[in-house]
């Protein structure tokens, strides 16, 4: 297991506190979605894809739709979203281009640590979307 990025443990402690307040967690997911839409360019495609998946997983957990995930995993994902949303992390986001590098490093760390649970969620979501699509065909 690799060492967590600088200050990530601080964000994880904050995330643990947030987990008792689902409304705040959902607002954090919404903030991350808004910030994500402003991060343009192809060089951030993998970061966007990872963030979209993290946001979807956290949102599904908050809604009670997906509970086949450990508390530890949700705390780590919420910590990653916090890190992404907070503008003054290790490299401030106003240094565009550079500011997203540490966000990408944190997401890379998080997804490498949680690959099994994230893959399970991705499979669940694909199956869930497939079923929902079949039900939308209507009469």
51-104 pLDDT, tens digit each:
889 999 999 999 999 999 999 999 999 999 998 888 654 444 444 555 567 777
**Model confidence pLDDT, tens digit, residues 93-122:** 444 555 567 777 788 889 888 989 999 999
pLDDT at 43 over 90: no
**How far apart, in whole angstroms, are the C-alpha atoms of residue 26 and residue 61?**
10
- Average pLDDT of span 12-41: 86
**Model confidence pLDDT, tens digit, residues 25-37:** 999 999 888 887 7
Nearest Cα neighbor of 21 from 58, 73, 68, 50 is 58
pLDDT at 17 over 70: yes
């Amino acid at each position: 297991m690799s060492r967590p990025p600088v200050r990530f443990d601080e964000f994880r402690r904050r995330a643990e506190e947030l987990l008792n307040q689902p409304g705040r967690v959902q607002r954090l997911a919404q903030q991350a979605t808004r910030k994500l839409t402003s991060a343009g360019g192809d060089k951030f495609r993998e970061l966007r894809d990872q963030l979209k998946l993290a946001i979807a997983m956290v949102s599904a957990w908050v809604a009670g739709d997906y509970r086949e995930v450990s508390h530890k995993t949700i705390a780590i994902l919420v910590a990653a979203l916090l890190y992404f949303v907070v503008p003054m992390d290790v490299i401030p986001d106003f240094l565009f281009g550079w500011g997203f590098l540490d966000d990408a490093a944190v997401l890379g760390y998080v997804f490498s640590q949680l690959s099994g649970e994230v893959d399970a969620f991705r499979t669940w979501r694909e199956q869930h979307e497939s079923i929902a699509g079949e039900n939308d065909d209507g009469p």
